[in-house]
Structure 1
Amino acid sequence: MLTPDVAVDLVSASLKLVMLLVAVLVLPGLIVGFVVGIFQAATQINEQTLSFLPRLLVTLLAIILTGGWMASQLMDFCVEVFRRAAALVG
Structure 2
Amino acid sequence: MLIESSLFFNQITRIILIISTPLLLASLITGLIVSFIQSVTQINEQSLSFLPKIIAVFFVLSFCGPWMLHYLKDFTINLLSNSLYMFI
TM-score, scaled relative to structure 2: 0.90
Q: 3-state DSSP class of the match of 1:37? A: helix
RMSD: 1.4
Structure 2 counterpart of 1:5, from 3, 6, 14: 3
Letter of the structure 2 residue corresponding to residue 21 of structure 1: I
TM-score of the pair, normalised by structure 1: 0.88
Distance 2:21 2:74 in 1: 18
Distance 2:79 2:14 in 1: 14
Please state how far the C-alpha of 1:89 moved relative to its aligned partner. Answer: 6.0
Q: Which residue of 2 aligns with 1:79?
A: 77
Mapped partners of 1:67, 1:37: distance in 2: 27
Tell me, in whole angstroms, the C-alpha distance in 2 between the residues paired with 1:12 and 1:72: 20
- Give unmatched runs, 5+ long, in structure 2: none
Whether the aligned pair in 1 keeps the contact of 2:23 and 2:57 (CA below 8 Å) is: yes
What's 2:65 paired with? Answer: 67
Q: Structure 1 residue aligned with 2:51, among 49, 53, 67?
A: 53
Gaps of 5+ in 1: none
The SS at the match of 2:44 is coil
Task: Say whether the 8 Å CA contact 2:4–2:86 is kept in structure 1.
Answer: no
Q: Which amino acid aligns with 2:19?
A: L
Pick from 41, 44, 52: which aligns with 1:43? 41
